[in-house]
């Protein structure tokens, strides 16, 4: 039944965003958190979790300084651990694809964020991390 509720909530989210002029793609948020299997598999520091135990890949951190926070209208800083929603547009700065005999094909895309906004995350998204943890424990 939980899956049915998630499907219903996702469908409602898509419907609401489409009513606001957004595409279905805007409604799909993909967790970038590495599973335990991915953390064990990756051996390079550029792909693995950082030394603080963060399960997210290196390079996915945005750092917003005072000027950027002012542009975004952030007067009061959020609390550490709070969840915010980030929406943005980015320009593709470079693309690369290399192939080697030992490691196979590796690809990369470097994006420069050109436009963005931050919003308080709604309560529905907070439960998503719990589902990810359950998937990891099940070995998925």
Question: What is the full DSSP assignment across 3-39?
Answer: HHHHHHHHHHHHHHHHHTT--GGGG-----PPPHHHH
**Domain assignments of the chain as residue spans, ordered by start:** 62-126
The pTM of the whole model exceeds 0.75:
no
How far, in Å, CA of 2 to CA of 96, rounded? Answer: 40
* Residue-wise pLDDT tens digits, 77-121: 999 999 888 888 999 999 999 999 998 988 888 889 898 888 887
123 versus 109: which is more confidently predicted? 109
List, in sequence order, the alpha helices (H) in 1-140: 2-19, 36-41, 66-71, 128-137
* Residue-wise pLDDT tens digits, 11-66: 777 787 778 777 766 666 777 888 888 777 764 544 444 455 678 787 788 899 99
């Amino acid at each position: 039944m939980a899956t049915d509720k998630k499907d219903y909530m996702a469908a409602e989210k898509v419907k609401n965003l489409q009513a606001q002029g957004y595409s279905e793609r805007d409604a799909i948020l993909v967790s970038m958190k590495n599973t335990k299997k991915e953390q064990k598999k990756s051996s390079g520091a550029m792909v693995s979790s950082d030394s603080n135990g963060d399960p997210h890949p290196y390079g996915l951190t945005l750092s917003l300084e005072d000027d950027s926070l002012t542009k975004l209208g952030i007067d009061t800083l959020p609390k550490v651990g709070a969840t915010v929603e980030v929406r943005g547009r980015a320009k593709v700065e470079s693309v690369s694809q290399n192939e080697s005999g030992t490691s196979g094909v590796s690809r990369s895309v470097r994006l420069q964020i050109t436009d963005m906004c931050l919003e308080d995350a709604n309560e529905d998204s907070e439960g998503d991390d719990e589902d990810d943890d359950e998937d990891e424990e099940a070995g998925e």
